């Protein structure tokens, strides 16, 4: 889940207080009947970012994207792109292009005409249009398909044409609605990296909507997690994964073990949390001081728990259990361990050895252990 | 394996045989079913279209005479066992030579074409509106479009006489309002024929157009807007080209019956709006010239088959794009 370091350093304007956001969404609300599709959302996206809106279906991410494109007018709030208030501009006057989930290629035009469509609307000279179309088709490696009609292309090829068409007008902002949703798994993985490469080459700001967390983590500089019309957390993929802000985020992004407990004291930089369901005390590095008696959840990722043979001598951060279930996934195995107090804990181990020679099997007694930086204390 | 289990062997034998028979039975049933499904409409077509057409074709090559039936037989037995067949082409030659018939054909095409154009200009916005409303409204509006069919076609045309007459509703209203001094001559003009045809065949234009427009993917218009296209431009560049199959279907459904229309020009049209359907009627019932009437009918059919084939071609070309 780690990002290449180069991009992190190049693009971290959100940490720079003086940096000016390129796209600003300020207090935007949109209702459909009685439901709040987007509920008082504010968001800053910086120039050159690959920004992802991530959430389950009905969380409002698509509505927010369509507000940016101009297809939906918000009930409240303003949208600024490059310093200009575009809230009331119709889609055809916005410096924004969108790649549709269904690609929305014009079926009565060939690939070339599809890509040229936006340029011709601008009144660009035909020689220039031709050059630009050729450039765009080369960018997405579709140069040999200029005369084909959309129904003569495969799903992956259509996706490329849609990308070329949406980039042809050199928009200030490109919106992508589930850009890889219609591709099969293998092609999707390959296209994710390619999309990032294209984005770095053209330097356009991308905002994408996805429900696929792996896709969001692979491609994005930053991710916004949405739930029930609100943005719950905005950060880099690594920060969201390692330091989720709420139980919902922790649970939505990857899998997590949640230990419910209460704060019983402070020991150095750590909080001591008593967890009756797990049957042990947890000592977890604190992000903020919490008073004794506060009800909290401790989120620990399955890969941050280790299985050891003998119980350590400390009185915290370990517990005994019995292997209840094993899910062998090839590269890793997930062990479901039932603790003596009854809670089931997921532990993920990398299969460094051949499957047949691994020692653990069903009903084995094991000891689970973790360090104080393995978990995050959550109050909401 | 010393003692053969005979009962079990027989059981397997009969079960296998039974299954084979079952497969064979289904096969035959399937084939017969297919033959029935195709055969019934084929029989209908043969009995009610091909056979009458052959009879008409036969009559068109005969000569008129005062007899029962009023035309000569095509073949006769001559002396010495010869079978003589007499094909009379003079009817067709007359159609070509006499200006009356050619004029009637051309006039029919003109009236049908102009009516089709007006039906399209009126029907397209109507269909567009219906296709863009909510589903509940769409059903209601489509019902309203079809509603006139519940009344007899003839009665609806008579109703137009009442509206367009010199002493009809429209003229009376205009006179009462003081907009005109004397009644407008509307009845017994080509204008009345156009109104009658457009009124009667509008549903045939609207229904295929609605079907095409409803099927159209709305995100295509969003994509066009997103690429900088104003709504009016988007209509001409996206909606109109993609609704071509519906336009073609609607136009043919109006044009073809309008060419052969008899009742509307007869009741609403003037003496000079001679359409081919009316000519046919005159030849058949007034002049009692069955062979000539038959050749008029055959020629009219040829006129109608050509646009139908053209339509098929358009459909074929559109089909891959529609996929």
Same domain, A186 and A161: yes
Same domain, A137 and A30: yes
* Average pLDDT estimate for A333-353: 87
Cβ pair A103, A158 in contact under 8 A: yes
Subunit contact A117:B222, Cβ cutoff 8 A: no
Sorted by where each begins, the domain ranges of chain B are 1-60, 91-322
pLDDT of residue A355: 63
The answer to the question of residue A336 being in a domain is yes
Q: What count of other Cβ atoms lies within 10 Å of the Cβ of residue B254? A: 27
Angle between the N-to-C axes of helices B190-215 and B99-132, in degrees from 0 to 180, rounded to the nearest 10:
40
Give the integer Cα–Cα distance in Å for A365 and A322.
5
Same domain, A166 and A276: no
pLDDT digits (tens, 9 = 90+) for A255-288: 899 998 999 988 888 889 988 877 788 888 887 8
pLDDT of residue B319: 57
Residues of A in contact with B224 (CB under 8 A): 106, 117
- Minimum CA–CA partner of B323 in chain A: A151
| SS3 (DSSP) at A228 | coil
Residues of B in contact with A136 (CB under 8 A): none
Same domain, A210 and A324: no
Same domain, A84 and A211: yes
pLDDT of residue B25: 67
Residues of A in contact with B226 (CB under 8 A): 69-70, 91-92, 96-98, 166
Whole-number Cα distances in Å, A1 to A5, A254, B118? 12, 11, 65
Same domain, A170 and A140: yes
Number of structural domains chain A divides into: 2
Give the integer Cα–Cα distance in Å for A233 and A378.
13
- What's the longest Cα–Cα distance across chain B? 118
- Minimum CA–CA partner of A167 in chain B: B227
pLDDT of residue B27: 66
Kind and range of the H or E run holding B85: strand B82-85
| SS3 (DSSP) at A336 | strand
| SS3 (DSSP) at A225 | strand
Strand partners, A53: A209, A224
Confidence band for A357, pLDDT divided at 50, 70 and 90 = low
Cβ pair A62, A232 in contact under 8 A: no
A299-336: buried (b, 16+ CB within 10 Å) or exposed (e) per residue? bbbbbbbebeeeeeeeebbbbebebeebeeeeeebbbb
Residues of A in contact with B321 (CB under 8 A): 107-108, 149, 151
Whole-number Cα distances in Å, B204 to A97, A272, B110, B145, B197? 40, 79, 19, 10, 11
Worst-scoring range by mean pLDDT, A4-13, A230-239, A263-272, B227-236?
A4-13
Subunit contact B321:A107, Cβ cutoff 8 A: yes
Give the integer Cα–Cα distance in Å for A292 and A261.
11
Q: What count of other Cβ atoms lies within 10 Å of the Cβ of residue B143? A: 9
Among the candidates A187, A221, A245, a domain finishes at A245
Confidence band for A3, pLDDT divided at 50, 70 and 90 = very low
B91-322 under CATH 1.20.120.160, yes or no: no
Give the integer Cα–Cα distance in Å for A204 and A167.
9
Per-residue pLDDT of chain B (323 residues; tens, 9 = 90+): 445 677 777 777 777 777 776 776 676 666 777 777 788 889 999 999 899 999 999 999 998 888 888 888 888 888 888 888 888 888 899 888 888 888 898 899 999 999 999 999 999 999 999 999 999 999 999 999 999 889 999 999 999 999 999 999 999 999 999 888 898 899 999 999 999 999 999 999 999 999 999 999 999 999 999 999 999 999 999 999 999 989 988 998 999 889 888 899 989 988 877 888 888 888 888 888 999 999 999 988 887 787 778 777 777 766 554 44
pLDDT of residue B242: 93
* Average pLDDT estimate for A72-101: 94
Subunit contact A169:B322, Cβ cutoff 8 A: no
Average pLDDT, chain A: 88
Same domain, A371 and A330: yes
The CATH number linked to A33 is 3.40.50.300
Residue found by looking up tokens 């249009």 in the block = A129
Residues of A in contact with B218 (CB under 8 A): none
Whole-number Cα distances in Å, A138 to A132, A134, A141, A199? 10, 6, 5, 15
pLDDT digits (tens, 9 = 90+) for A164-194: 999 999 999 999 999 988 788 888 888 888 8
Domain extent, residue A300, equals 255-378
The CATH number linked to A274 is 2.40.50.140
The answer to the question of residue A114 being in a domain is yes
pLDDT of residue A270: 87
pLDDT of residue A275: 87
Nearest Cα of chain A lies from the Cα of B238 at a distance, in angstroms, of 8
Among the candidates A224, A245, A266, a domain finishes at A245
Cβ pair B183, B175 in contact under 8 A: yes
Give the integer Cα–Cα distance in Å for A319 and A317.
7
Whole-number Cα distances in Å, A195 to A111, A200, A215, A379? 19, 9, 11, 37
Subunit contact A100:B223, Cβ cutoff 8 A: yes
Subunit contact B222:A104, Cβ cutoff 8 A: yes
Burial class (CB in 10 A: 0-12, 13-18, 19+), A239: middle
Nearest Cα of chain A lies from the Cα of B242 at a distance, in angstroms, of 7
By Cβ distance, the residue of A102, A149, A169 closest to B227 is A169
Residues of A in contact with B233 (CB under 8 A): 121
Is pLDDT larger for residue A290 or for residue A51? A51
Extended strands (E) in chain A? 23-32, 35-45, 50-54, 76-81, 84-85, 96-99, 173-177, 205-210, 222-227, 230-235, 257-267, 270-275, 280-285, 295-300, 306-308, 318-328, 332-339, 344-350, 365-369, 375-378
Subunit contact A102:B241, Cβ cutoff 8 A: no
Selected for mutation to probe chain B from A65, A90, A92, A105 (highest B CB count within 10 Å) is A92
pLDDT digits (tens, 9 = 90+) for A95-116: 999 999 999 999 999 999 999 9
By Cβ distance, the residue of A108, A118, A122 closest to B321 is A108
Give the integer Cα–Cα distance in Å for A225 and A56.
9
The answer to the question of residue A60 being in a domain is yes
Nearest to A260 by CA among A246, A244, A278, A245: A278
**Contact residues of B toward A, CB < 8 A:** 217, 219-220, 222-230, 233, 237-238, 241-242, 320-323
- The phi and psi torsions of A333 (rounded to 5 degrees) equal -125, 140
Confidence band for A356, pLDDT divided at 50, 70 and 90 = low
Among the candidates A245, A265, A292, a domain finishes at A245
Q: Is residue A143 pLDDT above 80, yes or no?
A: yes
- Contacts for A74 with CB less than 8 Å, ≥ 6 apart: A28, A29, A30, A38, A67, A87
Confidence band for A158, pLDDT divided at 50, 70 and 90 = very high
Kind and range of the H or E run holding A252: helix A247-252
Whole-number Cα distances in Å, B292 to B49, B59, B85, B286? 20, 9, 19, 12
Subunit contact A92:B242, Cβ cutoff 8 A: no
- Minimum CA–CA partner of B242 in chain A: A108
Cβ pair A320, A311 in contact under 8 A: yes
Selected for mutation to probe chain B from A114, A117, A176 (highest B CB count within 10 Å) is A117
Same domain, A157 and A74: yes
Nearest Cα of chain B lies from the Cα of A141 at a distance, in angstroms, of 22
Q: How is residue A2 annotated by DSSP?
A: P
Same domain, A283 and A371: yes
Residues of B in contact with A149 (CB under 8 A): 320-321
Same domain, A279 and A236: no
**Contact residues of A toward B, CB < 8 A:** 69-71, 90-93, 96-98, 100, 102, 104-108, 117-118, 121-122, 149, 151, 165-166, 169
Confidence band for A10, pLDDT divided at 50, 70 and 90 = low
Report field, pTM of the whole predicted structure over 0.95? no
Task: Examine residue B69 and say whether the peptide bond preceding it is cis (omega within 30 degrees of 0).
Answer: yes
Nearest Cα of chain A lies from the Cα of B182 at a distance, in angstroms, of 53
Nearest Cα of chain A lies from the Cα of B250 at a distance, in angstroms, of 20
By Cβ distance, the residue of A91, A104, A166 closest to B220 is A104
Subunit contact A107:B242, Cβ cutoff 8 A: yes
Sign of CA dihedral A230, A236, A241, A245: negative
Residues of A in contact with B222 (CB under 8 A): 69, 71, 91, 98, 100, 104
List the strands of the sheet with A35-45, edge to edge.
A35-45, A23-32, A76-81, A84-85
The answer to the question of residue A250 being in a domain is no
- Minimum CA–CA partner of A150 in chain B: B321
Cβ pair B238, B132 in contact under 8 A: no
- Minimum CA–CA partner of A104 in chain B: B220
The answer to the question of residue A100 being in a domain is yes
Give the integer Cα–Cα distance in Å for B208 and B131.
11
Same domain, A15 and A130: yes
Subunit contact B222:A165, Cβ cutoff 8 A: no
Same domain, A149 and A37: yes
């Amino acid at each position: 889940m780690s990002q290449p370091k180069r991009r992190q350093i190049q693009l971290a304007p959100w940490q720079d207080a003086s940096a000016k956001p390129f796209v600003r969404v300020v207090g935007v609300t949109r209702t459909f009947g009685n439901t709040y599709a987007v509920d008082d959302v504010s968001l800053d996206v910086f120039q050159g970012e690959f920004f992802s809106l991530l959430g389950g279906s009905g969380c409002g991410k698509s509505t927010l994207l369509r507000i940016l494109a101009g297809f939906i007018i918000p009930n409240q709030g303003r949208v600024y792109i490059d310093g200009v208030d575009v809230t009331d501009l119709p889609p055809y006057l916005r410096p924004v292009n969108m790649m549709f989930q269904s690609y929305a290629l014009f079926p009565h035009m060939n690939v070339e005409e599809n890509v040229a469509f936006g340029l011709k609307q601008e009144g660009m000279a035909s020689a220039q249009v031709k050059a630009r179309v050729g450039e765009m088709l080369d960018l997405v490696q579709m140069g040999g398909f200029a005369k084909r009609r959309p129904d003569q292309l495969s799903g992956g090829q259509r996706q490329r044409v849609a990308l070329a068409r949406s980039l042809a007008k050199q928009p200030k902002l490109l919106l992508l609605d589930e850009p890889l949703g219609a591709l099969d798994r293998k092609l999707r993985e390959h296209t994710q990296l390619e999309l990032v490469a294209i984005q770095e080459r053209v330097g356009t700001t991308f905002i994408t909507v996805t429900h696929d967390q792996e896709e969001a983590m692979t491609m994005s500089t930053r991710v916004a997690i949405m739930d029930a019309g609100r943005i719950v957390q905005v950060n880099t993929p690594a920060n969201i994964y390692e330091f989720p802000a709420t139980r919902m985020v922790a649970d939505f992004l990857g899998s997590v073990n949640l230990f419910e407990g209460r704060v019983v004291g402070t020991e150095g930089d750590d909080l001591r949390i008593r967890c009756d369901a797990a049957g042990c005390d947890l000592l977890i590095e604190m992000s903020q001081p919490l008073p004794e008696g506060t009800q909290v959840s401790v989120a620990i990722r399955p890969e941050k728990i280790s299985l050891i043979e003998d119980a350590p001598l400390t009185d915290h951060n370990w517990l005994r259990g019995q292997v209840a279930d094993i899910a062998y996934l090839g590269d890793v195995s997930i062990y479901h361990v039932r603790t003596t107090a009854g809670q089931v804990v997921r532990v993920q181990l990398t299969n460094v050895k051949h499957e047949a020679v691994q020692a653990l099997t069903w009903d084995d007694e094991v000891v689970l252990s973790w360090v104080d930086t393995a978990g995050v204390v959550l109050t909401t | 394996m010393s003692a053969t289990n005979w009962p079990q062997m027989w059981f397997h034998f009969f079960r296998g045989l039974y299954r084979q028979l079952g497969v064979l039975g289904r096969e035959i049933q399937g084939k017969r079913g297919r033959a029935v499904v195709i055969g019934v409409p084929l029989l209908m077509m043969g009995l009610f279209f091909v056979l009458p057409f052959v009879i008409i074709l036969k009559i068109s090559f005969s000569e008129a005479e005062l007899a029962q039936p009023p035309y000569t037989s095509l073949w006769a037995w001559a002396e010495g066992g010869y079978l003589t067949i007499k094909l009379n082409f003079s009817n067709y030659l007359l159609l070509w030579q006499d200006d009356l018939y050619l004029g009637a054909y051309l006039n029919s095409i003109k009236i049908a074409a102009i009516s089709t154009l007006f039906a399209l200009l009126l029907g397209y916005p109507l269909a567009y509106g219906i296709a863009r409303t909510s589903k509940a409204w769409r059903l209601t509006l489509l019902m309203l479009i079809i509603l006139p069919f519940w009344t007899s076609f003839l009665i609806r045309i008579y109703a137009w006489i009442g509206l367009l007459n010199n002493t009809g509703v429209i003229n009376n209203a205009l006179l009462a309002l003081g907009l005109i001094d004397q009644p407008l001559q509307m009845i017994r003009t080509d204008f009345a024929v156009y109104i009658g045809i457009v009124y009667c065949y509008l549903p045939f234009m609207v229904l295929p157009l609605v079907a095409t427009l409803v099927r159209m993917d709305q995100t295509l218009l969003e994509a066009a807007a997103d690429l900088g296209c104003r709504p009016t431009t988007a209509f001409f560049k996206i909606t109109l080209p993609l609704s071509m199959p519906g336009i073609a279907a609607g136009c043919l459904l109006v044009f073809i019956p309008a060419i052969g229309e008899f009742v509307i020009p007869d009741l609403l049209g003037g003496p000079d709006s001679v359409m081919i359907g009316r000519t046919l009627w005159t030849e058949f019932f007034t002049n009692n010239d069955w062979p000539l009437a038959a050749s008029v009918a055959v020629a009219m059919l040829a006129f109608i088959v050509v646009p139908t084939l053209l339509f098929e071609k358009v459909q074929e070309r559109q089909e891959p794009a529609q996929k």
